[in-house]
Chains A and B, each alone.
Chain A
Amino acid sequence: MTDYQEYLGFLYSALASQNKKNIELTESTHLVADIGLSSLEVMEFIEKIEDHFDITIPLNILPDVNTIGELAKKVRELNP
């Protein structure tokens, strides 16, 4: 079973290569507004999380997710 902190830790490390502005990544960092991910990059990032944890994350969650913390929380909810 994966907990919130474990998801969060993976999100930080997986986003490092896409953090072109080199900003500090926190739970409140916005995936689009702060890091600058395109919609395509967001979907590819979701696939990366799915493959790492071998879980399913429907794209439907995207409208409700803005920050790294929200994404970690949502993934945790979907895979209790």
Chain B
Amino acid sequence: MLFDKFQTMADFQAELAEREVVPFGAVTEQILSSTEGVVEGRRVILAGTNNYMGLSFDPRCIAAAQAAAARWGTGTTGSRLANGSFAEHEALEQEIAQFYAVGHAIVFSTGYAATMGMCSTLAGPGDVILLDADSHASIYAGVKLSDADIIRYKHNDPDDLAKRMRRLGDRAGQALIIAEGIYSMLGDVAPLKEIAAVKREYGGYLLVDEAHSMGVLGDTGRGAAQAAGVEADVDFTVGTFSKSLGSIGGYCVSQHPELEAIRFCIKAYIFTASSSPSIIASTREALRIIVSEPERRRRVWDNASRLYDGLKALGLPVGPTASPVVAVEMVDRSRTIDCWKALMEAGVYVNLVIPPASPSSNFLLRNSVSAAHSNEQIDTIISAYADLKAAGLFEPAQAA
């Protein structure tokens, strides 16, 4: 039967409905600020939005979007290749290239399209791609479409990558290595200095997805490669506007002039409508803000440390280091759902993550902090977890 493969998900949805829990697709009925909203009838602190710089409600971004809608209309009604390249799109491409101090940039309609599009296009049949085992779904989707030979290396393990590059022999020189800056589920940072060293030893090309690290890491917010001092080794940087820049869209920047030819080979760029002018305008404004207000980066890290230290002090199984993504790993699905529900009832919205979205067979209560969260809000989140622990809702920490 065509629908048989969906039965497991249908059963899970039925279980959630019976328990009156709506962790997936919870409806936000009202946004009160970049850190507060009304979700499923409850006023909650938003602690699972990836709104790292807190710009989704910035009046300057809103004004820019409003002005662009009035000037350019509500949508482009076409792809970038046809009628959908407005002056705003070209300006953003120049500005994002300038931000990264490289010569070339492509703006996509979503971050997923940017990553999937680049990964599916750069390598083709006969080529080889090495991707981190914990790569985002958009990377897995892209490499599968590429028809290149796909090889996984162990998560954040440069020695394992080196071993696999060595096995490739002469093919290593043309291989595409893929890593992420900050991994979205556990918030761990890639060892890009060591990964770049592997590339220098064996050759190949390096693509880094800075979706969760752009704005957050590096002296000027360019991401993990800047923080590691290896930007010159990165051939392609992809990222998104839907996190630190508070809008939606994606990008790829590169030092290689060939990106201009690659642009016209990416189906995820050619065969989809371009971003609406209001989106592009708010993104441009947000990019200006993260450049001119570096204190937001310090603030998001202060909040990350405050939440991480607080949850760790409770004895909860968080990752090895503080990061704007702080995930609590759980082994029991039912307990995880209970915790998610209790957090909502306590006025805290976080992400519930289940396999295969989580990188192992574990379940996650995934928190993400914003520069806009106040100390009081972070303390309220910690306090809600403390109440759950006191109520006996957390099982002992177990290894993944």
Q: For residue A26, which residues in chain B have a CB less than 8 angstroms away from its CB?
A: none
Residues from 31 to 58 in A contacting B, C-beta threshold 8 Å: 38-40, 43, 47, 50-51, 54-58
Contact (Cβ within 8 A) B150 A56: no
Out of B151, B355, B356, name the residue touching A58 (CB < 8 Å): B151
Give me the 3 closest cross-chain CB pairs, A-B, nearest first.
A58-B149, A59-B150, A56-B167
Contact (Cβ within 8 A) A59 B152: yes
In the bound complex, what is the Cα–Cα distance between A70 and B38 (angstroms)? 54
A60 within 8 A of B: yes
B164 within 8 A of A: yes
Given that A40-B356, A58-B149 are known contacts, is A47 also in contact with B154, CB under 8 Å in the complex? yes
Q: For residue B355, which residues in chain A have a CB less than 8 angstroms away from its CB?
A: 40
B128 within 8 A of A: yes
The interface centre, meaning the residue of A39, A47, A55, A57 with most chain B CB atoms within 10 A of its CB, is: A47
How close is A20's CB to chain B, nearest CB, in angstroms?
14
Q: 1/0 contact trace for A50-77 toward B, CB 8 Å? A: 1100111111100000000000000000
Q: For residue B356, which residues in chain A have a CB less than 8 angstroms away from its CB?
A: 39-40
Q: Mind listing 17 A-B residue pairs with CB under 8 Å?
A: A39-B356, A40-B356, A40-B360, A40-B361, A43-B133, A47-B152, A47-B154, A50-B164, A51-B163, A56-B149, A56-B151, A56-B164, A56-B167, A56-B168, A58-B149, A60-B149, A60-B150
Secondary structure dominating the interface of B: mixed
Known: A55-B167, A58-B151, A60-B147. 8 other contacts (CB 8 A): A40-B360, A40-B361, A47-B152, A56-B149, A56-B168, A58-B128, A58-B149, A60-B150
In the bound complex, what is the Cα–Cα distance between A55 and B164 (angstroms)? 8
Closest chain A residue, CB of each to CB of B360: A40
Q: 1/0 contact trace for B338-361 toward A, CB 8 Å? A: 000000000000000001100011
Q: How many residues of A contact B (CB 8 A)?
A: 14
Q: How many residues of B contact A (CB 8 A)?
A: 16
How close is A47's CB to chain B, nearest CB, in angstroms?
7
How close is B352's CB to chain A, nearest CB, in angstroms?
19
Q: For residue B133, which residues in chain A have a CB less than 8 angstroms away from its CB?
A: 43
Q: For residue A54, which residues in chain B have a CB less than 8 angstroms away from its CB?
A: 167
Number of A-B contacts (CB under 8 A): 31
Residues from 143 to 160 in B contacting A, C-beta threshold 8 Å: 147, 149-152, 154
How close is A66's CB to chain B, nearest CB, in angstroms?
16
Q: For residue A39, which residues in chain B have a CB less than 8 angstroms away from its CB?
A: 356
Contact (Cβ within 8 A) B151 A59: yes
Q: For residue A47, which residues in chain B have a CB less than 8 angstroms away from its CB?
A: 152, 154
Q: For residue A56, which residues in chain B have a CB less than 8 angstroms away from its CB?
A: 149, 151, 164, 167-168
Contact (Cβ within 8 A) B150 A43: no
Closest chain B residue, CB of each to CB of A54: B167
In the bound complex, what is the Cα–Cα distance between A16 and B154 (angstroms)? 23
In the bound complex, what is the Cα–Cα distance between A60 and B133 (angstroms)? 15
Q: For residue B128, which residues in chain A have a CB less than 8 angstroms away from its CB?
A: 58
In the bound complex, what is the Cα–Cα distance between A47 and B128 (angstroms)? 16
Residues from 113 to 171 in B contacting A, C-beta threshold 8 Å: 128, 133, 147, 149-152, 154, 163-164, 167-168
Q: For residue A38, which residues in chain B have a CB less than 8 angstroms away from its CB?
A: 361
In the bound complex, what is the Cα–Cα distance between A58 and B356 (angstroms)? 20
In the bound complex, what is the Cα–Cα distance between A76 and B105 (angstroms)? 43
